[in-house]
Amino acid sequence: MFVYATDSAYIDRLSASVVKQGEFYVVAVELYVYSAVTENSEIHVYLPQLNVDQKLQAQLQRDKMNKVVANVTVAASKVKLWWPNGYGQQNLYDVTAVATVKGESIRSETIQVGFRTIELIQDFVDPSDALKGRHFYFRVNDVPVFLKGSNWIPVSSFPARNFTERIEFLLESAREIGMNALRLWGGGRFETDDFYRMADRKGILLWHDLIPSNGVQTEE
């Protein structure tokens, strides 16, 4: 839990998704800004390693969580790709967002993104005979990937006790023995931001079950 005090605005959270479109990648950045005032704001989004800088104007509404969206285009030729463990390097790039209200830069946020494509391939084994079934595998950056991994269950039922070091040890152990994927059990929970960042850095793909897929849900 965090408590912030402000008489202007603060950045609550920042997220980004990456989609390839032809010879470019589009980084769709979503910024959530809580504002204590109704005021025009300048939003500054940049990727420092790529010298990409984008500014936009946003009208912030008082006492509301304001969603600001910025689409940043990056030439595919400028980036180094992110690869699963065993297939290449896990290249990651910083995405930083800063909001300026009344001429004052408020709290900034930085996350990391990787540039890659991923496809689930389910074509027919034999196009002339559908009864032979379909393939089922993933291609990352147009390369077929053999998934090697395990199941992940929560380290503890009490996440507030902070098991970051334990999680780091387990993910690093998975990386060292050649794993490149983990299935997150649906009877568990959504993990911490640190978990997903560690997986990115270690080249581990995550197959996430629906939560809570293993429970009996009420009809209400």
Q: Is 2 a member of any domain?
A: no
Return the pLDDT at 206: 96
Tell me if the bond preceding 154 is cis, omega within 30° of 0.
Answer: no
Return the pLDDT at 1: 59
Reading the chain (220 residues) residue by residue, the pLDDT tens digits are 566 667 677 788 899 999 999 999 999 999 888 877 787 888 889 999 999 988 888 888 888 888 889 999 999 999 999 999 999 999 999 999 988 887 778 778 899 999 999 999 999 999 999 999 999 999 999 999 999 999 999 998 887 777 889 999 999 999 999 999 999 998 888 898 899 999 999 999 999 988 776 666 666 6
Phi, psi (rounded to 5 degrees) for 71: -105, 115
133 and 172, same structural domain? no
Q: How many domains does the chain have?
A: 3
Task: Tell me the CA distances in angstroms from 180 to 11, 42, 84, 91, 100, one per residue in order.
Answer: 33, 40, 6, 15, 40
The structure's pTM equals 0.87
Identify whether the C-beta of residue 194 lies closer than 8 Å to the C-beta of residue 164: yes
Return the pLDDT at 92: 98
Return the pLDDT at 160: 75
Return the pLDDT at 180: 98
- Residue that terminates a domain, selected from 145, 162, 187: 145
Q: Could you list the residue range(s) of the whole structural domain that residue 137 is in?
A: 117-145
Return the pLDDT at 220: 65
109 and 13, same structural domain? yes
Structure-derived torsion over alpha carbons of residues 130, 132, 137, 143, reported in degrees to the nearest 10: -80
Residue 81 is encoded by which pair of tokens?
A: 């790709």
CATH of the domain at 26: 2.60.40.10
Return the pLDDT at 7: 66
